[in-house]
Amino acid sequence: MEYFIQQLANGLTLGSIYGLVAIGYTMVYGIIGMINFAHGDIFMLGGFAALIVFLILTTFFAGIPVALALLVMLIVAMLMTGLWNWTIERIAYRPLRGSFRLAPLITAIGMSIVLSNFIQVTQGPRNKPIPPLVTEVYHIGNITISLKQILIVVITSILLFAFWYIVNKTPLGRAQRATEQDRKMAALLGVDVDKTISITFIMGAALAAVAGSMYLMYYGVASFNDGFIPGVKAFTAAVLGGIGSLPGAVLGGLLIGLIESLWSAYFSIAYKDVATFAILAIVLIFKPTGILGRPEVEKV
Amino acid sequence: MTGEPLLKVQAVETYYGNIRALSGVDVDVHKGEIVSLIGANGAGKSTLMMTICGSPQARTGQVIFDGEDITRLPTHLIARKRIAQSPEGRRIFPRMTVYENLQMGAGLDNLKYFNEDVEKIFTLFPRLKERQSQRGGTLSGGEQQMLSIGRALMARPKLLLLDEPSLGLAPLIVKGIFEAIKKLNKEEGLTVFLVEQNAFAALKLSDRGYVMVNGKVTMSGTGKELLINPEVRAAYLEGGRH
Ligand SMILES: Nc1ncnc2c1ncn2[C@@H]1O[C@H](COP(=O)(O)OP(=O)(O)O)[C@@H](O)[C@H]1O
Ligand SMILES: [Mg+2]
pLDDT tens across B29-87, in order? Answer: 999 999 999 998 999 999 999 999 999 999 999 999 999 999 999 999 999 999 999 99
**Alpha-carbon Rg for chain B in angstroms:** 17
Quote the CA–CA distance of B4 and B156 in Å, as a whole number: 21
Is pLDDT of B239 > 80?
A: no
Cα of B164 from ligand 2 centre, angstroms? 7
B44 CA → ligand 2 middle, Å: 7
Which chain B residues are closer than 8 Å to A182 by Cβ?
91, 93
**Banded model confidence at residue A296, pLDDT cuts 50, 70, 90:** low
Establish whether residue B41 lines the binding site of ligand 1, counting it when its CB lies within 6 angstroms of any ligand atom.
yes
Q: Where are the beta strands (DSSP E) in chain A?
A: 128-129, 137-140, 143-146, 221-222
Q: What domains appear along chain B, each with residue ranges and CATH number?
A: 1-82+158-235 (3.40.50.300), 91-156 (no CATH)
Residue A273 has pLDDT above 90, yes or no: no
Angle between helices A229-241 and A2-32 (to 10 degrees): 80
Whether residues B93 and A188 touch (CB distance < 8 A) is answered with: no
Mean pLDDT rounded to a whole number for chain A: 89
Q: How far apart are CA A56 and CA B174, in angstroms?
A: 69
> Which H/E stretch holds residue A20?
helix A2-32
A96: left (phi over 0), alpha (psi -120 to 50) or beta: alpha
pLDDT digits (tens, 9 = 90+) for A56-66: 988 888 888 88
Using an 8 Å Cβ cutoff, are B209 and B38 in contact? Answer: yes
Q: What is the 8-class DSSP label of residue B58? A: P
**CA distance linking residue A5 with residue A288, whole number of Å:** 31
The CA B46 to ligand 2 mean position distance, Å, reads 4
Q: Residue A209: pLDDT band by 50, 70, 90 thresholds? A: very high
Beta carbons within 10 angstroms of residue A127's beta carbon? 13
- Say how far apart CA A135 and CA A148 lie, in whole Å: 7
**Cβ neighbours of B75 in A, within 8 Å:** 184, 187-188
Q: Tell me the torsion sign for CA atoms A256, A259, A262, A264.
A: negative
The residue-averaged pLDDT of B185-203 equals 91
Q: Is B43 in the pocket of ligand 1 (CB under 6 A)?
A: yes
- A96 CA distance to ligand 1 middle (Å): 25
Q: Of the ranges A130-134, A213-217, B86-90, B106-110, which one carries the lowest mean pLDDT score?
A: A130-134
Neighbours of A60 (CB within 10 A): 8
Residues pairing with B27 in the sheet:
B9
Contact A299 B55 (CB under 8 A): no
Nearest to A272 by CA among A1, A5, A7, A6: A7
Q: Which ligand is the nearest neighbour of the Cα of B212?
A: 1
| Chain centroid to CA B45 | 10
Q: Which of A31, A176, A189, A198 to mutate to test the interface with B (most CBs of B within 10 A)?
A: A189
**β-strand A128-129 against A221-222: which pairing, if any?**
antiparallel
Mutate to test the interface with A, among B73, B91, B108, B111 (most CBs of A within 10 A): B91
8 Å CB contact of A191 and B80: no
pLDDT at B240 over 60: no
pLDDT of residue A297: 44
What distance in angstroms lies between residue B39's CA and the mean position of ligand 1's atoms?
Answer: 13
| Residue A15 neighbours by CB under 8 Å, 6+ apart | A237, A253, A254, A255, A256, A257, A258
B122 C-alpha to center of ligand 2: Å? 27
- Residue A291 makes CB contacts below 8 A (sequence gap 6+) with A240, A241, A242, A248, A251, A252, A283
Tell me the one-letter amino acid at A47: G
Q: How many CB atoms neighbour CB A19 within 10 A?
A: 29
Q: Chain B residues with CB inside 8 Å of A177's CB?
A: 93, 95-96
Cα–Cα distance measured from residue A255 to residue A292, given in angstroms and rounded to the nearest whole number = 13
Those residues with Cβ within 8 angstroms of residue B237's Cβ, 6 or more apart along the chain or in another chain? B199, B200, B227
What are residue B16's phi and psi, to 5 degrees? -110, 105
Residue of chain A with shortest Cα separation from B109: A190
Min Cα–Cα distance to chain B from A190, Å: 4
Which ligand is closest to the CA of B51, given by its number?
Answer: 1
B155/A300 touch (CB, cutoff 8 Å), yes or no: no
Calpha distance B74→A187 (Å, rounded):
9
pLDDT at B241 over 70: no
Helix A2-32 × helix A39-60 angle, to 10°: 110
Q: From the alpha carbon of B49, which atom of ligand 1 is closest?
A: 17
**Confidence category of residue A300, pLDDT binned at 50, 70, 90:** very low
Report the residue from A171, A184, A189 with minimal CB separation from B105: A189
Q: What's the pLDDT at A131? A: 83
pLDDT of B56? 94
Q: How many CB atoms lie within 10 A of CB A266?
A: 10
Res A298 pLDDT > 50:
no
Query: For residue B44, which atom of ligand 1 is closest to its CA?
Result: 17
The H or E element spanning position A176 is: helix A171-181
- Nearest Cα of chain A lies from the Cα of B147 at a distance, in angstroms, of 13
Task: For residues B154-179, give the mean pLDDT.
Answer: 89
Q: What is the mean pLDDT of chain B?
A: 91
Alpha helices in B53-207 (DSSP H): 75-80, 98-105, 114-124, 126-130, 141-153, 171-188, 199-205
Question: What mean pLDDT is predicted for residues A243-255?
Answer: 91
Phi, psi (rounded to 5 degrees) for A22:
-60, -35
What is the mean predicted confidence (pLDDT) over A235-245?
90
Separation in Å, CA of A300 to nearest CA in chain B:
6
Higher model confidence: residue B163 or residue A226? Answer: B163
First to last CA, chain A: 50
The structure's pTM equals 0.91
Measured from the CB, is residue B144 less than 6 Å from ligand 1?
no
With bands split at pLDDT 50, 70 and 90, how would you rate the model's confidence at B1? low
Closest partner residue to A300 among B79, B85, B137, by Cβ?
Answer: B137
Atom number of ligand 1 nearest to Cα B43: 22
Cβ pair B95:A175 closer than 8 A: no
Cβ atoms B39, B213 nearer than 8 A: yes
CA distances from B242 to A174, A246, B219, B228, B232 (A): 41, 49, 21, 14, 14
Instruction: Closest CB to B94: pick one of A171, A186, A298.
Output: A298
Please tell me the predicted confidence (pLDDT) of residue B58: 96
